[in-house]
């Protein structure tokens, strides 16, 4: 349950066309919203994209708007504009997450340094510049993972040898972070709401496969038993990460890696998880994290209460690649899961094959155990493989 205070005014929306945010904004009639598209529209002469696609042009347009028609709030709608929203709030003294917190949630190098300084375990890393300047030592590092400093999911993330990484960085520039490659046996995500610097309403989940291994294929999450020792460790580490980055209020998505013995915080995002994770969490808790995230940015004081009681079993989320035609809800699936729900993005008018959204459809289901959840996912994989064989035979 969410109780809202009386808040209204002029809000700048850094608009990415996100359906979940637009649904929330459509219900708020006490506000006047001005939208700037991110990435900016070429047709808008104030918003020509820079070489990176959005930041400079969008910021110039936001500053120009302030000079003509000042606003009281800035609403970020995506990972890529959280930092800009924070910068605008700091510049104009507005409510919400300020620049230092926002940058710590979006710039991977700053994030890693803050986590490391606070004693939160992170995978050994170098900045792109440090990696080049220590070339002789870094040549013997073996396999590494190179990531852009900003960005979500696995876009632009590449595994390579340390020698290949040196050449790669010289070619593209130093705006990357280099991590030692560990043997990731399991990857987790923890999602929740931060109030007063404390992580609340947190749900811990295990990815069916580590994220890099799942690129281009099926991507799934399985809810971890909230009374388990594993859940306690993941929530505790996530809260340490939140405190290390100085996040006092917001919504977070924390990625955690394991080699079977140790846990490391991979990244922490100051916004709801993508790829259908928000709907998955709504089915578990009754909370809409995009709604909470949006209300917080608009200055609401919230009384947040889970509307669903904890129950036995595990919910799961399955992102099905766009190459799969469709999943049949057969008797095998029905015997393993209940409350099965399918969201087919391809049926939406806004969907195109060029969309950055990595799935054609997303499935949700409730199973009696994590074992049944894994069997449910395996049945989906069998369907996808069978479909591929039929195409090859054809």
Beta-bridge partners for 14: 36, 76
What would the pLDDT profile of 54-66 be if each residue is shown by its tens digit? Answer: 445 889 999 999 9
Residues whose CB falls within 8 Å of the CB of residue 119, separated by 6 or more in sequence, listed in order: 240, 244
- Structural domain includes residue 110: no
Note if the bond before 39 is cis, omega within 30 degrees: yes
- Structural domain includes residue 117: no
Q: What integer pLDDT is reported at residue 151 of this predicted model?
A: 75
**324 in the same domain as 197:** yes
**100 in the same domain as 17:** yes
**252 in the same domain as 141:** no
- Structural domain includes residue 98: yes
- Structural domain includes residue 4: no
Cβ atoms of 312 and 368 closer than 8 Å: yes
**175 in the same domain as 205:** no
For residue 65, give the CATH number of its domain.
Answer: 3.40.50.20
266 lies in which domain range? 186-393
- What's the number of domains the chain is made of? 3
**162 in the same domain as 17:** no
* pTM for the model: 0.89
**283 in the same domain as 138:** no
What would the pLDDT profile of 269-297 be if each residue is shown by its tens digit? Answer: 999 998 899 999 999 999 999 999 999 99
- Structural domain includes residue 113: no
Q: What integer pLDDT is reported at residue 138 of this predicted model?
A: 78
Nearest C-alpha neighbor of 235 from the set 174, 278, 269, 188: 188
- The DSSP code for 41 is P
Instruction: Tell me the two tokens of residue 6.
Output: 């009386």
Q: What integer pLDDT is reported at residue 52 of this predicted model?
A: 46
**67 in the same domain as 195:** no
- Judged by DSSP in three states, 185 sits in coil
Would you tell me how many other CB atoms lie within 10 Å of the CB of residue 171?
A: 7
Domain end: 134, 162, 180, which one? 180
123 φ/ψ angles, rounded to the nearest 5 degrees: -70, 135
**264 in the same domain as 156:** no
Q: Which of 381-389's residues contact partners 24+ apart within 8 Å by CB, and which partners?
A: 381/218, 383/324, 383/327, 383/328, 384/218, 384/320, 384/321, 384/324, 387/324, 387/325
Nearest C-alpha neighbor of 232 from the set 252, 256, 249: 256
**376 in the same domain as 315:** yes
Euclidean distance between CA atoms 388 and 385, whole angstroms: 5
**316 in the same domain as 235:** yes
Domain end: 104, 137, 171, which one? 104
**14 in the same domain as 156:** no
- Structural domain includes residue 389: yes
> What DSSP line would sit under 73-85, residue for residue?
EEEE-SHHHHHHH
Under-70 pLDDT residues of the chain: 1-7, 39-56, 152-154, 308-311, 346-357, 387-394
**324 in the same domain as 243:** yes
- Structural domain includes residue 109: no
For residue 167, give the CATH number of its domain.
Answer: 3.30.1490.20
Domain end: 54, 69, 104, which one? 104
- Full strand arrangement of the beta sheet holding 263-269: 263-269, 249-258, 186-195, 198-207, 219-223, 314-320, 361-367, 337-344
- Judged by DSSP in three states, 365 sits in strand
Residues whose CB falls within 8 Å of the CB of residue 50, separated by 6 or more in sequence, listed in order: 56, 57
Nearest C-alpha neighbor of 27 from the set 54, 4, 58, 48: 4
- Structural domain includes residue 54: yes
Exposure string (b/e) for 110-130, b if CB count within 10 Å is 16 or more?
A: bbbbbbeeeebebbebbbbee
């Amino acid at each position: 349950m969410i109780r809202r205070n009386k808040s209204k005014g002029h809000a700048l929306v850094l608009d990415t066309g996100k359906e979940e945010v637009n649904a929330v904004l459509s219900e708020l009639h006490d506000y006047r919203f001005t939208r700037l598209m991110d990435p900016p529209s070429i047709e808008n002469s104030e918003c020509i994209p820079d070489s990176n696609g959005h930041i400079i042009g969008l910021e110039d347009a936001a500053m120009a708007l302030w000079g003509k028609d000042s606003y009281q709030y800035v609403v970020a709608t995506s990972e890529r504009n959280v930092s800009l929203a924070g910068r605008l709030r700091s510049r104009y003294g507005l409510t919400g997450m300020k620049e230092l917190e926002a940058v710590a949630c979006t710039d991977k190098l700053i994030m890693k340094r803050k986590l490391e300084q606070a004693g939160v375990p992170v995978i050994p890393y170098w900045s792109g510049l440090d990696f080049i300047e220590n070339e002789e030592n870094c040549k013997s590092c073996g396999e590494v993972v190179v990531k852009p400093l900003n960005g979500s999911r696995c876009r632009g993330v590449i595994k390579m040898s340390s020698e290949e990484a040196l050449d790669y960085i010289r070619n593209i520039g130093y705006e990357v972070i280099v991590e030692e490659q560990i043997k990731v046996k399991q990857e987790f995500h923890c999602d929740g709401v931060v109030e007063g610097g404390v992580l609340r309403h947190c749900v811990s989940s295990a990815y069916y496969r580590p994220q890099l291994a799942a690129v281009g294929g099926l991507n799934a999450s399985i809810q971890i038993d909230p009374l388990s020792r594993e859940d306690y460790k993941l929530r505790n580490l996530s809260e340490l990460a939140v405190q290390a980055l100085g996040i006092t209020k917001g919504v977070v998505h924390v990625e955690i890696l394991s080699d079977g013995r140790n846990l490391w915080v991979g990244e922490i995002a100051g916004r709801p998880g993508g790829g259908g994770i928000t709907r998955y969490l709504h089915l578990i808790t009754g909370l809409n994290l995009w709604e909470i995230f949006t209300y917080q940015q608009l200055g609401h004081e919230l009384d947040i209460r889970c509307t669903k009681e904890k129950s036995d079993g595990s919910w799961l989320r399955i992102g099905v690649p766009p190459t799969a035609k469709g999943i049949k809800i057969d008797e095998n699936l029905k015997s393993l899961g209940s409350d099965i729900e399918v969201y087919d993005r391809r049926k939406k008018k806004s969907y195109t094959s060029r969309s950055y959204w990595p799935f054609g459809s997303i499935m949700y289901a409730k199973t009696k155990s994590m074992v049944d959840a894994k069997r449910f996912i395996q049945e989906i994989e069998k369907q996808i493989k069978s479909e591929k064989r039929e195409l090859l035979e054809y």
